[in-house]
Amino acid sequence: MKKISFLFLFIIFLNDFSYSQTLRERVKERREQRNENKSGDVDLALPDYSNLYYWAAHPAKWDYSDSIPSFLKDEIRDTSGDVFFLHPTTYIKDFQNSKMNADVDDSALNHQTDISTILYQASVFNGSCRVFAPRYRQAHLKAYFQITSAQSKKAFDLAYEDLKTAFQYYLDHWNHGRPIIIAAHSQGSMHAVRLLREFFDGKPLQRQLVCAYIVGWQIKKEDFKSLPFGNFPAETGCVVGWRTYKKDKEDFLIKKENGNSLCVNPISWSTDNNWTPKEMHKGAVGKDFNILVSKRISVGIAPGLNILWVEIPDDIEQKSGMASRLGNFHIADYNLFWMDIRENVKQRINTFLGH
C-alpha cells in the first residue's frame, strides 16, 4: 500500500472528522426518507456528490485507488490528468430478494466495491491521474438476465442518472479544464458508452478527452459519431476497449453480435490480428497486489469475433477457477494487463500535453 506520511494522515483525519459526526445523522435521515418514500424497487434518495462519503475514490481523501504495489515504490508519479472511473457490478447477492438497485448507504457493499474494483482496477490510473469514482445505485446482476424488460431498463436508467449527476458535479467543481480519461468495466462500461455520447461525442468536451478505456463491454461499430476507436499507443481523443477470452473460446452472446464490435490489443494497442508475444507483456496483478507477473501472457484479436484471445500459462490459469473453466476472463480484464494499461495511460497523457 502507498506509504503516507504522518502529517498527511493527520490532515486527512481532520478533513474526515469535520463531517463524520453529521454524516451519521445524514445517513440516518436518508434511510428514514427511503422508508417513507419507497416506490417499488426504486430508491428515491439521491447520492449527495458534494459529500466525499459518496465517492469510492476521490483525491481529497485516502481510498483504495491510492494503493501502490510494492514493486512500484520508487515510481515517479504525476497527476496531470483526471480519470473518472465507473466501477462494475458488485451488487450480486440474494437474487431472489434483492431490490433492482443498490443502496449507496450499504456499508458492506461499499466495502466490497472498495477492496475489489477500486483496489485492483481504479488504482491502475494513480500513476498519472487524480482518481474520481462515484458510488451509484448500480443495477443488480439479475437485471442482465432480463435485460430487455421494463424493470431492468428502469434499474439501468437509475444507475446511469447517478453517474451522470456525479460526472456533472465533477465538471462543475473539480475539473477546471484538466485532461480527462473515462475508464470503466462491465456495467460501468455500459453506462460509460452513454456518458461519452451525451458529454463528449461531437461536443466541446471532446477536446479534453485523453482516452476512454471502455473494458468488458461490447463497443458497437456505430456507437459513436465523432469519437474514433484507438489504433496506436499514443493516440488521444479516442476510445479503446476489449473483452478477454481464452484462445479459441467464445459464447452465445458473442455469436449473436456477428462481429459488430470493436477491440484493441491492450499490449500493442493496435486493432490488427497480429499476436503479441509474451515478451511484450508488461505485467499482470493478481490477488497479491504486490507481485507483478510479467512476460507471461500472449494475446491476439479473434478474427471475425473482435474479442481478445489470450494464452495464459497453466500456473496462472489454475488460479482463475471458474473463469478458466468457462474460458471467459471477464473478471480479469484489467488485472491481466495492469502494467500495460498503467504505462499506456502515462504515454497518452504525455502526448496529449505535448511532453
- pLDDT confidence of residue 38: 39
Q: Measured on CA atoms in the order 90, 95, 98, 100, is the torsion positive or negative?
A: positive
For the chain, how many helices (H) and strands (E)?
Answer: 9, 11
Task: Please give the pLDDT value at position 270.
Answer: 98
Q: What is the DSSP letter of 13?
A: H
Residue type, 2: K
Q: What is the mean pLDDT for each group of 10 consecutive residues in the chain (355 residues)?
A: 34 33 44 41 74 98 98 95 98 92 96 98 98 98 94 97 98 98 98 98 98 98 98 98 95 94 98 96 95 96 97 76 76 97 98 95
* Residues 86, 92, 98, 104, CA torsion sign: negative
Residues 335/284, Cβ–Cβ less than 8 Å:
yes
Compute the 3-state secondary structure of the chain and give helix, strand, coil in percent, each to the nearest 5.
Answer: 45, 15, 40
pLDDT at 314: 79
Judged by DSSP in three states, 20 sits in: helix
Nearest to 101 by CA among 63, 154, 59, 56: 154
In order, the DSSP letters of 258-285 are TT------TTT---SSPPBPGGG---EE
d(CA 13, CA 353): 34
pLDDT number for residue 316: 72
What pLDDT was estimated at residue 321? 62
Place of cell 484489467: 334
Cell numbers at residue 64, please?
A: 483504495
User: Which residues, in sequence order, are CB contacts of 215 under 8 Å at separation 6+?
Assistant: 183, 184, 185, 186, 189, 241, 242, 243, 333, 334
Grid look-up 461525442 returns 201
pLDDT at 142 (0 to 100): 96
Among the listed residues 284, 270, 273, 268, the one whose alpha carbon sits nearest the alpha carbon of residue 331: 284
The reported pLDDT for the residue numbered 45 is 72
